[in-house]
Chains A and B, each alone.
Chain A
Amino acid sequence: MTRFILGLVLGTFAATAIHAQGSTAKPVKQPAPHAIQLAKIESSEIKLPPAFEMAIYEHALDEIKKTALFDQIYRDGDRRAASVTGLVTLRTDVRGFKQGSAMARQVTTVAGKTSIKVHMVLAQADGKVLLEKDLEGKVRFFGENMRATFDLAKGMARTLKDNFQKPATTSKS
């Protein structure tokens, strides 16, 4: 009986370890392109307040810069990007927007969530898509509505970091 219980416990441990190993297996990261250009936030289906649109754009630029994945980061319409080889463009389309209430959040804690849903596409100049993902930025408990744009930008940067890595620099002799 004791052997049976011991076997059961050991078996459970082994199964948990195998499952954990399988779930934590990270996808292979691609080498990050040399330069990235962030296109203006589009909201074709949803009418997003202009302040929110520009806040996503500015926050995304800041957060992508923080990842240090790319040597060059260009804004939308930057003429210098035209001559850069290996440039990728990040396009973001707003697919959903729910403006909550900061007061409701602060008073009730559970109500008044603000959320912004976007579809981001990272593509090369020839149109080849390197990364495509739906993301949501939200502010659920603390903070003003605009904080959802910061949360979304952080999510965008995290997605890039999860899929790309800085290519190893070759040492010059």
Chain B
Amino acid sequence: MLTKTATSTLSRLHTRARIVLLMLIIAGVPAVSPGQQQPQPPKPAPKRVRSVMGFQDIKKNETCDINVGASSVNLKGKTATVEVTVASIEDVLTGDDSARLVGGFVGTLTSFGPYGSGRFLSLFRKKLDTLTIQYRDSDGGLHGGILSMHPGEAIALKRLIVAAGAKTTVPVDDSGKPAEGTPTATAEQKKGDQKP
């Protein structure tokens, strides 16, 4: 009787293990645990970013070259160049966002595709990092420039700008915390604030 129960339990376990293995293969989850994974090296600061808005003379959503100098951050678009002096930067904050993999005009066209193909394509999205730069112009007027770039690059760019002398309300942390402004980061910040 005992052997019978043990055999049935073992076969049940085998079945469960098979199901879990199948699910892992389908989900594409690597077999190694997060602890065994090697930490990825931090990404270097980007050379090209997308200016979402807030930089005068540079069009919205224009891709531009970025260069962080000793005393200024330079953005070079197709037709215009913007120079933001590091001394005028009041805050540099990172965040994250996502966008459709097929975007722009083609993305809009695909939404009219037959049999819900547009909706299917909407499932494919790319992650983005955002960097918000708050700076003052020569008259003291506040500007809010938003840049978007590949994931992991915003923190590297922030580190570079802060190293050049820009101020920030959230210090750069090398521990690889999630981006600021996200719910997780906010919760962590609150927890930290509560500590005596």
Chain A residues within CB distance 8 Å of chain B: 40, 47-55, 57-59, 74-80, 102-103, 106-107, 142, 144-146
Contact = CB atoms under 8 A, between A and B. Distances in A.
Nearest to A74: B141
Given A55-B53, A58-B54, A80-B139, A50 B119 contact: no
Contact of B181 (A51, A57, A74): A51
Interface residues of B, number: 33
Contacts of A146: 52, 97
Contact of A107 (B97, B119, B130, B132): B119
Nearest to A47: B186
B134 A54 contact: yes
Interface stretch (B21-29, B30-38, B62-70, B142-150): B142-150
A60 to B, nearest CB: 11
Contacts of B98: 102-103
B146 A54 contact: yes
A50 B180 contact: yes
B47 interface: no
Contacts of A59: 53
Interface in B86-125: 91, 93, 95, 97-100, 111, 118-119, 122-123, 125
Contacts of A54: 54, 132, 134, 144-146
Given A80-B139, A106-B111, A144-B97, A53 B119 contact: no
Interface of B: 52-54, 91, 93, 95, 97-100, 111, 118-119, 122-123, 125, 130, 132, 134, 136-137, 139-146, 180-182, 186
Nearest to A144: B99
Given A49-B95, A103-B122, A107-B123, A78 B132 contact: no
15 contacts: A47-B181, A50-B95, A51-B97, A51-B130, A55-B53, A58-B144, A74-B141, A75-B143, A77-B141, A78-B141, A102-B98, A102-B125, A103-B123, A106-B119, A146-B97
Nearest first, the 10 A-B pairs at minimum CB distance are A54-B144, A75-B141, A49-B181, A106-B122, A50-B93, A78-B141, A76-B142, A50-B132, A77-B140, A79-B140
A40 B142 contact: yes
A80 to B, nearest CB: 6
B172 to A, nearest CB: 15
